[in-house]
């Protein structure tokens, strides 16, 4: 596998493209928005400059990495001749199914189709293609250039050959692949999201404030980032989407999203991406969200 197509130039997509390109792969970064592609390339460039500042790479490495990336706004053109396509679009099942139907119709029959979904069933996604044996989950962690883990999720029909190919490929990227089975939330988010949701419930019930909850988890549990700050970093809309997938998939009330999370997403308080969530990022000052103000 040398030719990689990445669909989506957002946070995860540009990070995935960065990692592949830095490791010598030819990458086609695809997005329907030219502005998003421009922003994605700017983010990759900025992250490469940070690596140069830390003496992790050289200017020559940066130049080669950027030269390995080409951008496209047309899906069929972007995925042509790709050995692997990694979909990193918004965590929306209808959108992903639409993309995979189109990929199945325009990609070569041997092309492996991967999704970076953090919770949606690989088996469901594969079911809309004629190649379910070649559909697999590659759940990268954010920020992709730094985080080592890749959850490799096998759908019901994913073949052993494809699974091993993707495991080996992940190692070539300098990642640590971990194989898991196809259940809602997989492993990472099945454990992480209930913890974040419980932290939001703790705030909602008035047990402690934002900073206090995060401090307990950072200093008491040795977490590098508190759960509420992490939720802001992930995106509260993404957290809500994942919890809804797990709640719907398991029919277990323990996965039901906290009303505070639901209300914050409706109020467009999405975290870092919107400038405000549990913290205020627009003014560079902490601004706790008072639970009672979102209860109605």
Query: Taking 50 as the threshold, does the pLDDT of residue 137 lie above it?
Result: yes
Q: For strand 26-30 and strand 112-115, is the pairing parallel, antiparallel, or unpaired?
A: unpaired
Active site annotation includes 284: no
Active site annotation includes 3: no
What top-level class would CATH report for the domain 3-181? alpha beta
Can you tell me the mean pLDDT for 167-183? 97
Question: Which residue out of 14, 189, 197, 274 is catalytically annotated?
Answer: 189
Question: Which residue out of 47, 82, 116, 118 is catalytically annotated?
Answer: 118
**Does residue 31 have a known ligand-binding role?**
yes
State the CATH architecture for 189-294: Orthogonal Bundle (1.10)
Active site annotation includes 118: yes
Query: Taking 60 as the threshold, does the pLDDT of residue 286 lie above it?
Result: no
**Does residue 5 have a known ligand-binding role?**
no
- Tell me which residue has tokens 């902490």: 286
All CATH 3.40.50.720 domain ranges in the chain, comma separated: 3-181
Q: What is the pLDDT of residue 289?
A: 47
**Does residue 91 have a known ligand-binding role?**
yes
Threshold 0.85, pTM exceeds: yes
All CATH 1.10.1040.10 domain ranges in the chain, comma separated: 189-294
**Nearest residue to 113 via CA among 184, 185, 162:** 162
Question: Which residue out of 18, 28, 36, 139 is catalytically annotated?
Answer: 139
**Nearest residue to 101 via CA among 116, 85, 119, 118:** 85
Q: What is the pLDDT of residue 237?
A: 95
Distance CA 9, CA 251 (A): 33
Query: Taking 80 as the threshold, does the pLDDT of residue 111 lie above it?
Result: yes
Q: What is the pLDDT of residues 2-56, one digit of tens each?
A: 999 999 999 999 999 999 999 999 999 999 999 999 999 999 999 999 999 999 9
**Does residue 142 have a known ligand-binding role?**
yes
Q: What is the pLDDT of residues 29-38, one digit of tens each?
A: 999 999 999 9
Beta strand segments in the chain, E? 3-7, 26-30, 69-72, 84-87, 112-115, 135-140, 149-154, 176-181
Instruction: Give me the sheet containing 84-87, strands edge to edge.
Output: 69-72, 26-30, 3-7, 84-87, 112-115, 135-140, 149-154, 176-181
**Under 8 Å CB-to-CB from 262, ≥6 apart: which residues?**
240
Distance CA 184, CA 124 (A): 11
CA angle 148, 142, 261 (to 5 degrees): 140
Distance CA 62, CA 172 (A): 18
- Cα–Cα separations (whole angstroms), residue 195 to 99, 198, 226: 31, 5, 11
Q: What is the pLDDT of residue 181?
A: 95
Q: What is the pLDDT of residue 282?
A: 82
**Nearest residue to 193 via CA among 248, 239, 150, 230:** 239
17 vs 1, more confident = 17
Active site annotation includes 139: yes
Distance CA 52, CA 66 (A): 14
Question: Which residue out of 87, 151, 201, 276 is catalytically annotated?
Answer: 151
Q: What is the pLDDT of residue 291?
A: 40
**Does residue 118 have a known ligand-binding role?**
yes
Cβ atoms of 221 and 242 within 8 Å: the answer is no
- Cα–Cα separations (whole angstroms), residue 47 to 144, 240, 241, 242: 11, 28, 28, 27
pLDDT-based confidence at residue 296 (cuts at 50, 70, 90): very low
């Amino acid at each position: 596998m040398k030719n990689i197509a990445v669909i989506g130039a957002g946070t995860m997509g540009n990070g995935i493209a960065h990692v592949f390109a830095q490791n010598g792969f030819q990458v086609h970064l695809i997005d329907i928005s030219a502005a998003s592609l421009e922003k994605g390339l700017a983010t990759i460039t900025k992250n490469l400059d940070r690596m140069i500042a830390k003496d992790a790479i050289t200017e020559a490495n940066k130049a080669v990495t950027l030269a390995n990336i080409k951008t496209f706004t047309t899906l069929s053109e972007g995925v042509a001749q790709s050995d692997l396509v990694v979909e990193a679009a918004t965590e929306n099942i209808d959108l992903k199914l639409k993309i995979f139907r189109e990929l199945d119709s325009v990609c070569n029959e041997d092309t492996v189709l991967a999704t970076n979904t953090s919770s949606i069933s690989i088996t469901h996604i594969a079911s809309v293609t004629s190649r379910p044996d070649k559909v697999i989950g590659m759940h990268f962690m954010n920020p992709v250039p730094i985080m080592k883990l890749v959850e490799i999720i096998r759908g019901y029909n994913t073949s052993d050959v494809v699974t091993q190919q993707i495991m080996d490929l992940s190692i070539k990227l300098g990642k640590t692949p971990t194989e898991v089975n196809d259940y809602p939330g997989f492993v990472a988010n099945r454990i992480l999201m209930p913890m974040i949701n419980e932290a939001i419930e703790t705030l909602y019930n008035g047990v402690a404030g934002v900073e206090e909850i995060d401090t307990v988890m950072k200093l008491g549990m040795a977490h590098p980032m508190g759960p509420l700050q992490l939720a802001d970093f992930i995106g509260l809309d993404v957290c809500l989407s994942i919890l809804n997938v797990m709640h719907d998939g398991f029919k277990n009330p323990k996965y039901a999203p906290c009303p505070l999370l639901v209300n914050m997403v409706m109020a467009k308080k999405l975290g870092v991406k919107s400038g405000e969530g549990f913290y205020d990022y627009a003014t560079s000052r902490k601004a706790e969200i008072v639970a009672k103000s979102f209860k109605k």
